[in-house]
Structure 1
Amino acid sequence: MLQVIMLIALLCAGAIGYMLLWLVMAACTREDLILLNTDGPKSFLGQPLLFPAKLAHARRFPDIERYNYWYDYFVVGIPVGLRGRIGNLLSIDNLPAHESHREKCWFTIDPAYYLDRGSGDLCLREKLDIFLESLDEDPRSFPYAYLISTPRFLWWQKSAISYWYLYSSSRELTAMIMEINNSFFEKRNVFFRISGDIGLGMNTPPPTETVCLATMKEMSERQAVRFVSSAPTSKIYKGTWTKRIFASPFEKMEGVFTNTFVDPLPSEPNPRGTLQSTLTSVSAEGRVKVNSRLSSWSKPVNPISASWRDVTHIILRWTHVGAISSPRIIKEALRIRFRGMMEYHKRPEVRPGSIPRNQTVVERALERVFREYLSHITSRCQYPVTVVYAPPRSLHFNRLTFQSPVPPTSSPRTEVTVQPLTPRFYTRIAQYRDVREAFPAMAKSHPTSADHLSCFLWVSDMSALDHLLTATAPAIPELKSAFTRDDPQRPLRLTISKGVIAWLRGSNNETFMDSFCYWSQSQQMQREYQKAVIHHLLANKLPVESQAAVMLCYISLTTVVVYLLLHLLAAFVQSWRLGSVLTNSRYLVTPSVGALVYGGWAMLTKYVGKYYLNPFAWGDGL
């Protein structure tokens, strides 16, 4: 036991020492601007800024549950298009995997986090242009953009709202993109045009310009970089957009959001504050329900010109704010829930156009089989048809197109789009015996108290899909017959795992995806599929459906087994006196230490990064 305590203390001391060293590097090293792209623009609208702020919430309706609370909030503003880093303090629009260890920064604006998740090596400007084009907007209409968001610290980033301020060529604020991230790790990117308040117009002051010398990465030369202020024509701007994301368990998906805010980049500071944004939830009847207000505490800090004392103060005072914002929200939500004055709504599935949570290992394995199934039935279709498969946008790859081998004649190909809206679709559809029953059931609305349109699947033409499924229904029996002739022992190798799945389901009937995988896929694919199905069925046996909890139980069980095996091994070594060194307990690694090392390694390789650490996020498959 003493060895375990010493090991834990050593790890904690090492982590604290590393953090202190990193803090000194971030605060005390020279805060030079180091550019990543040598051929990029050298003139930007706005400068990198650190905003100490607060976020306040106030409920106005219903009258029986009015409340007000606020908490500290820390955000960073960067001009979109600027790529590089400011010393070891702030990494801007650079993929962390491309940074060496000495280039790591205290705060990070990771482009993979914003708009569509992932997207390979695209920078923020490229992702912004792609998003605008998907909405049939011309990116050239918004040559300038400024992003305000919560930065990432270590592995932690939770930005409830990220603000994209879009400016015209005349440097006037004309549109906004708001990235809404709810507590269920879902996202909705909302674009809307804005208008200035007619009664609060202002004369556009002359622009201010700041020039700094920046170092090019891996080059000794320095170049001048210009930062220009905006040209606002109004003191306050307004915009409205329809609510299509489940933002709170106490709010239905209905009504609209209205947003009022100030331009954060004027040459003359706004009397209302540098950063001011108010988001108001309005019901379908026009009643104001909730106000959320983000406002800066004080003048923002420019990390390029700030002294090391200012930077140190920012780090010590505001680093922890992002990490504790979620516990504060959870505390307030639990307080409201236990008072029982507000109806608590179960999370609905995301609407088309929203980005669902990231898929789990189980859902990723089942998605591969489902994708192969769509390809298979299309390849066996005897009439011209095109199936467009649009996976959930959190899966990080584009639409796939499958075409039947029959060329079109006088009429064009029939086209049908199959778009799963949520990763939960793959675990649900894998449980249906009849494929012609599965697709309509998944596309049918599953109303919840929060959203009467909630469903798992969107299909562009259900009749065309049903025709395709009917025409290819004999495909699986034919495959089964062929494999039985070629390899009569093949089904025997699946008996044990199939028996476990049948026992967990309480039925010996195979589902259509079982049959397809067993008789058409490789043995490796079958093992991955069966492992995923067993994992999902075990999660269904828990009070709260949680794949994360199943994996934690598995890691705990195997750690106990490792401890018992090491204990037996130690007893065997000592009983047979295999060497004086081995029998000396001072040199022997105890079973407790060995099991602890194994459990930590298993957590790092099998859990961290694959499942959500927050237990409040568990349920509905997570």
Structure 2
Amino acid sequence: MKGLGIALATLFIVLFFFLVRVLLSARRLVSLSDEPQSVIGKPLLFPMIFNHKRFVPVKDQFSNRFLAVGVPVGLRCRIGNLLAVDDMSLDLHCPLGQGWSWKRALSHLSCWFSFDSGRYLHRGHHELDLREKLDGFLRDQNQDPAQWPYAYLLGIPQFLGWSRSVVSWWYLYTEERELDAMILEINNSYDEKRNIFMKVSRVSEQPLKVPECSQTEYLDDYYKVRSVSSLPQSTFYKGTWTKTIFASVFEKVDGLVTNRFMDPLQPASWKPNASFSNMTTIGVSGEVKMATRMTCYGPALDPTQMSSFQLLKFLLQWTVPGILTTAHIIFQALRIHYTGLMKMNVKTPVRTGSVARHATKTEIDLEPFFRAYLANCVEKYPHPIELTYLPCRSFATETITLRSPPCEKDPSNIRHVTIEPTDPAFYTRITNYATIETALNTELLPTGLYADPSSQRLLVSDQALLASILNSPSLKTNPFATNPKDLPNILSWYRTSTTTSFMDDFVSTSDPISRGVYFQIVSKERLINRFALGSEKLLGMYTFLGSCLLRWVVLESLTLDTDLAETSIQMALAGSASYFLVVRVLSVAGRLFFRF
């Protein structure tokens, strides 16, 4: 208890000095770009109220409040120690395989709120700013970014590296500064997301009156950032999109969603009774299933114009609700489930176009071996084919095109097939199948889950053609068949039997370095599944504890007398055996627990 008290006191002191730095620093906007630029709007703090109401199959409602921050897209800036937007000098991203670092901790402590472009639209590419990522996304949607020279992002910022954003809103404006399109980043509780692009239309033709004096201003002291106001031609704008993401554990992946928006840059949308944003879910039979309404708790605030006392009161009132958003959502879901109102659905694999959960380092490390396997199969295929491979979108955005050698001689008869794993766990599962036939029969099988019965873990445009490519007779090899003693000892341990998988056979014919890397990865994966409940982080904790125990044994043996050292070593070995026995028992108990 004493140690816990010290830890809490230390945390309180750190947060206190963190808050003091925010309040005492000058809150002037400083542009991080050397070039003059023109943006729409300015950084604003939006205290929001979210009201959720369900109509079908049961009636239920709840509300939540959170803080959203709006930033002009393309503006890289800092506002004192309060807000950092696309500050490339900060180390806000933790690469896979790297743990805690002082530099990253100090980066998060340098600003109360931060926007990291790597979290938005497609994951990664932290070297790009928000505007560059937006332009890339629009081009992927076959849209011309020049249609929308202005954009404004409303999202949940990071606080000490933590952020839980259910939806992020991108408002796209034309050259005439009218809202014309929207991008909704939908994030579910399973770390999955889908980016929805939609054109919006006016609900009415009555334009809002914009004060002339507020249309243009400079945001910084050096007159490099020119801000213009929006010029809406309607009070409301509307758009519709098809629901293709497992957004709620109580909903199926079907139906339509209609949205109605107000321009967030106009003070009329900040009134407590104004419908800042409405979202209505409509079932396949046309019934209204649920509706959400978002309103402003008060006017949007310009942080550069707030006094220290106003800012202190605001941060204490609105920072915590944002941190507790996930806990609030989980609580409401459990309440609905355990009161018998509705039953939770099993999560389905994502559909094409969606982004799966973040991949683990093991999954990313195994992907090149599967890619090499596909390339080898295509290279040896005797007919002209073109295989388009889309690596799992949770960590890659590239598209790989592979062509068989006969394509050069017969380009007019090329057959095409596309393959896309929807789940990063595919790369670990694929290493466990004895044959490619078994792998395809399993991975291509529709899940039959209630929320999305046709969902699959592997998406293939032509299953028969893919099976033909991967089952080519020239690929039938078994490098271990001639001499079973050549089977690496590691295989007989990490498999449940001595039978090798087809991926083992393929990699065993490659160069020694690749073989060593592959078997090291799959051995680690076996450790994770056997002892750490499938969690790489938990295995890391085991490794840390084991290394501490080993160091203690070595130190004891060096510092104690011979008899005492032998006794200490025996005790340490007994403790090590007990430790790994407990780990084994916990892993078995964990599997039984998660089975039910």
Task: Specify if TM > 0.5.
Answer: yes
* 522, 535, 545: which one aligns with 1:559: 545
Q: Which whole-Å deviations, capped at 9, do the CAs of 1:207-235 have from their partners, x for residues lacking one?
A: 423524526xxxxxx23432222111222
* 32, 36, 41: which one aligns with 1:36: 32
Question: Hey, what does 2:522 align to over in structure 1?
Answer: 530
CA contact under 8 A between 1:518 and 1:526: conserved in structure 2?
no
Corresponding position: 1:67 with 2:57:
no
Corresponding position: 1:86 with 2:91:
no
Question: Hey, what does 1:18 align to over in structure 2?
Answer: 14
Question: Hey, what does 1:356 align to over in structure 2?
Answer: 356
For residues 251 and 33 of structure 2, what CA distance do their matches in structure 1 show? 44
For residues 272 and 232 of structure 2, what CA distance do their matches in structure 1 show? 14
1:161 Cα deviation after fit: 0.3
For residues 304 and 461 of structure 2, what CA distance do their matches in structure 1 show? 51
CA contact under 8 A between 1:381 and 1:472: conserved in structure 2?
no
Residue 337 of structure 1 aligns to a residue whose secondary structure is helix
1:140 Cα deviation after fit: 1.3
Corresponding position: 1:516 with 2:506:
yes
Question: Hey, what does 2:112 align to over in structure 1?
Answer: 106
Question: Hey, what does 2:97 align to over in structure 1?
Answer: none
Corresponding position: 1:547 with 2:534:
yes
**Which structure 2 residues correspond to residues 460-479 of structure 1 after superposition, within 5 A?**
460-471=461-472, 473-474=474-475, 476-477=477-478
1:436 Cα deviation after fit: 3.2
How many residues were matched structurally?
553
Residue 327 of structure 1 aligns to a residue whose secondary structure is helix
* 138, 144, 148: which one aligns with 1:138: 144
CA contact under 8 A between 1:33 and 1:213: conserved in structure 2?
yes
For residues 219 and 281 of structure 2, what CA distance do their matches in structure 1 show? 44
Question: Hey, what does 1:587 align to over in structure 2?
Answer: none
Question: Hey, what does 2:447 align to over in structure 1?
Answer: 446
CA contact under 8 A between 1:151 and 1:157: conserved in structure 2?
yes
Corresponding position: 1:258 with 2:263:
no
Question: Hey, what does 1:420 align to over in structure 2?
Answer: 421
Distance change in 2, residues 1:619/1:95 (3 Å): farther
For residues 189 and 243 of structure 2, what CA distance do their matches in structure 1 show? 16
**TM-score for both structures, normalised by structure 1:** 0.81
Distance change in 2, residues 1:435/1:122 (3 Å): same
For residues 110 and 403 of structure 1, what CA distance do their matches in structure 2 show? 38
Q: Which amino acid aligns with 2:453?
A: H
Q: Which amino acid aligns with 1:124?
A: L
Residue 292 of structure 2 aligns to a residue whose secondary structure is strand
For residues 271 and 295 of structure 1, what CA distance do their matches in structure 2 show? 8
For residues 276 and 619 of structure 1, what CA distance do their matches in structure 2 show? 41
Q: Which amino acid aligns with 2:520?
A: E
For residues 258 and 125 of structure 1, what CA distance do their matches in structure 2 show? 26
CA contact under 8 A between 1:209 and 1:226: conserved in structure 2?
no
Distance change in 2, residues 1:526/1:268 (3 Å): closer
Question: Hey, what does 1:218 align to over in structure 2?
Answer: none
Q: Which whole-Å deviations, capped at 9, do the CAs of 1:583-605 have from their partners, x for residues lacking one?
A: xxxxxxxx9xxx9xxxxxxxxxx
Q: Which whole-Å deviations, capped at 9, do the CAs of 1:541-573 have from their partners, x for residues lacking one?
A: x9xxx412x752673486267448627854873
CA contact under 8 A between 2:36 and 2:224: conserved in structure 1?
no
Question: Hey, what does 1:601 align to over in structure 2?
Answer: none
1:273 Cα deviation after fit: 5.5
Residue 464 of structure 1 aligns to a residue whose secondary structure is helix
Residue 530 of structure 2 aligns to a residue whose secondary structure is helix
1:259 Cα deviation after fit: 1.1
Deviates more, 1:273-282 or 1:293-302: 273-282
For residues 384 and 524 of structure 2, what CA distance do their matches in structure 1 show? 34
* 51, 54, 68: which one aligns with 2:49: 54
Residue 257 of structure 1 aligns to a residue whose secondary structure is strand
CA contact under 8 A between 1:95 and 1:111: conserved in structure 2?
no
CA contact under 8 A between 2:148 and 2:172: conserved in structure 1?
yes
Residue 332 of structure 1 aligns to a residue whose secondary structure is helix
Q: Which whole-Å deviations, capped at 9, do the CAs of 1:301-321 have from their partners, x for residues lacking one?
A: 101222222222222221112
For residues 400 and 455 of structure 2, what CA distance do their matches in structure 1 show? 25
For residues 434 and 539 of structure 2, what CA distance do their matches in structure 1 show? 30
Residue 37 of structure 1 aligns to a residue whose secondary structure is coil
1:576 Cα deviation after fit: 6.5
Q: Which amino acid aligns with 1:19?
A: L
1:162 Cα deviation after fit: 0.3
Q: Which amino acid aligns with 1:418?
A: I
Q: Which amino acid aligns with 2:455?
A: S
Residue 258 of structure 1 aligns to a residue whose secondary structure is strand
1:461 Cα deviation after fit: 2.6
Distance change in 2, residues 1:212/1:309 (3 Å): farther
Question: Hey, what does 1:205 align to over in structure 2?
Answer: 210
Residue 555 of structure 1 aligns to a residue whose secondary structure is helix
Question: Hey, what does 1:331 align to over in structure 2?
Answer: 331
Q: Which amino acid aligns with 1:152?
A: Q
1:457 Cα deviation after fit: 1.2
Q: Which amino acid aligns with 1:356?
A: A
1:453 Cα deviation after fit: 1.8
For residues 399 and 79 of structure 2, what CA distance do their matches in structure 1 show? 38
1:383 Cα deviation after fit: 4.0
1:519 Cα deviation after fit: 3.2
Question: Hey, what does 1:192 align to over in structure 2?
Answer: 198
Residue 322 of structure 1 aligns to a residue whose secondary structure is helix
Where do 5+ consecutive residues of structure 2 fail to align?
93-102, 565-571, 577-589
1:415 Cα deviation after fit: 3.4
Distance change in 2, residues 1:74/1:370 (3 Å): same
1:373 Cα deviation after fit: 1.2
Q: Which amino acid aligns with 1:27?
A: L
1:368 Cα deviation after fit: 2.7
Question: Hey, what does 2:292 align to over in structure 1?
Answer: 292
Distance change in 2, residues 1:558/1:174 (3 Å): closer
Q: Which amino acid aligns with 1:33?
A: L
Residue 137 of structure 2 aligns to a residue whose secondary structure is helix
CA contact under 8 A between 1:174 and 1:195: conserved in structure 2?
yes
Distance change in 2, residues 1:255/1:268 (3 Å): closer
Corresponding position: 1:498 with 2:491:
yes
For residues 91 and 554 of structure 2, what CA distance do their matches in structure 1 show? 46
**Which structure 2 residues correspond to residues 202-281 of structure 1 after superposition, within 5 A?**
202-207=207-212, 208-212=214-218, 214=220, 222-266=222-266, 276-281=276-281
Q: Which whole-Å deviations, capped at 9, do the CAs of 1:151-205 have from their partners, x for residues lacking one?
A: 001120110000111111111111111100000000010011212223x733543
Deviates more, 1:304-313 or 1:110-119: 304-313
Distance change in 2, residues 1:472/1:201 (3 Å): farther
1:354 Cα deviation after fit: 0.4
Identity of aligned residues (%): 33
CA contact under 8 A between 1:109 and 1:152: conserved in structure 2?
yes
Corresponding position: 1:159 with 2:154:
no
For residues 142 and 152 of structure 2, what CA distance do their matches in structure 1 show? 21
Deviates more, 1:375-384 or 1:189-198: 375-384
**TM-score for both structures, normalised by structure 2:** 0.84
For residues 189 and 470 of structure 2, what CA distance do their matches in structure 1 show? 38
CA contact under 8 A between 2:167 and 2:185: conserved in structure 1?
yes
1:529 Cα deviation after fit: 3.3
